[in-house]
Each structure stands twice: as C-alpha cells, then as structure tokens.
C-alpha cells in the first residue's frame, strides 16, 4: 500500500475511534440508566445500553491506538446496522423533522466496514504486537 493510502487509513481509523469514544462516553456521562430506559422503550433490553456504550468507549480507544482494528470495526458495523434498523430507518435517509435520518450512521458503517476489511497496521500498537513472518 502506498504511503498516502496508509496515512489515509490511519486518519480514518483515528477519527472513527474518536467519534465512537465520545459517543460512548456521553452515554455514561449523561446517565447510562436513561439510555437503558430508552433502549427498553424501543424494544431492546436495557442492559444492552451498557454493552453498546462499553463497546463504543473501549473500541474507540482501541481504534485510536490501533489495537484490534478489524475486530473493533466489525463490532461497530453491527452497532450501526442495529442503529439504522431499530432507530433511524423509519425516519428515512434524511429524517422526518423529528429525528435525524440514517445518513450519518450509514457513513460510520461504511468507514467501519472499510477498516474491518482492510485493517490498519501502520502507526498502531498492533504492529508491534503481531509477530512478523517472512515468506520464502
């Protein structure tokens, strides 16, 4: 991969990590019990609010430092599919005047899917933890 492409992937990984980290942190700071209640009200078990917020915080940090990029990004893909289907789909692509549409979640899904497929080893903690093997 060319250096400019590698740098682009690193930027994408870090930005997506920051976005998810902040989303998860806000869930905890704003009262995770409220989020759990909202989850219950839309038919998702309340405990899943803790699971989702934890994935966002821990996964966001992992993406920022470049640890488990493919696994974390795959989890984010599933979170965005769930958010689109369960919360945003009824409002349409651009929203319905009451809530925003699913365009932003779709963009996050695409970013996460790209990272899940391609990974990101450059400028990451993961590059130091993976044992390199030479092909002869």
Whether residue 133 is contained in a domain is answered as no
State both tokens at 103. Answer: 């365009």
Whether 73 is covered by a domain: the verdict is yes
C-alpha 36: how far from chain center: 19
Tens digit of each residue's pLDDT (9 = 90 or more) over 52-96: 999 999 999 999 999 999 999 999 999 999 999 999 999 999 999
SS3 100: strand
What the block records as the tokens of 93 is 């692509």
**pLDDT class of 131 with cuts at 50, 70, 90:** low
- Work out the mean pLDDT of the chain and round it to a whole number: 92
11 within a domain of the structure (yes/no): yes
Residue 25: its pLDDT value, please? Answer: 98
- Does 20 map to a domain? yes
Q: Which residue has the tokens 């019990």?
A: 33
Residue 23 lies in a domain: yes
Of 54, 47, 51, 13, the residue nearest 33 (C-alpha) = 47
In a domain, 56, yes or no: yes
Number of other CB atoms surrounding residue 47 within 10 Å: 11
Domain total in the chain: 1
Asked whether residue 135 is assigned to any structural domain, the reply reads: no
Per the structure, the complete domain to which residue 31 belongs is given by 3-119
Q: Is the whole model's pTM more than 0.85, yes or no? A: yes
Q: Which of 84, 113, 79 is nearest to 101 (CA)?
A: 84
Would you give the DSSP letter of residue 95? B
């Amino acid at each position: 991969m060319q250096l400019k492409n590698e740098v682009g992937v690193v930027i994408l990984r870090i930005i997506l990590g920051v976005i998810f980290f902040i989303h998860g942190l806000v869930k905890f700071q704003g009262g995770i019990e409220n989020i759990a209640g909202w989850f219950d009200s839309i038919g998702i078990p309340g405990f899943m609010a803790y699971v989702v917020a934890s994935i966002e915080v821990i996964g966001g940090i992992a993406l920022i430092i470049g640890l488990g990029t493919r696994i974390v990004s795959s989890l984010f893909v599933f979170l965005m599919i769930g958010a689109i289907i369960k919360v945003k789909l009824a409002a349409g692509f651009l929203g319905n005047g009451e809530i925003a549409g699913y365009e932003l979640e779709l963009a996050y899904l695409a970013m996460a899917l790209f990272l899940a497929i391609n990974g990101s080893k450059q400028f990451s903690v993961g590059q130091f933890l993976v044992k390199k093997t030479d092909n002869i």
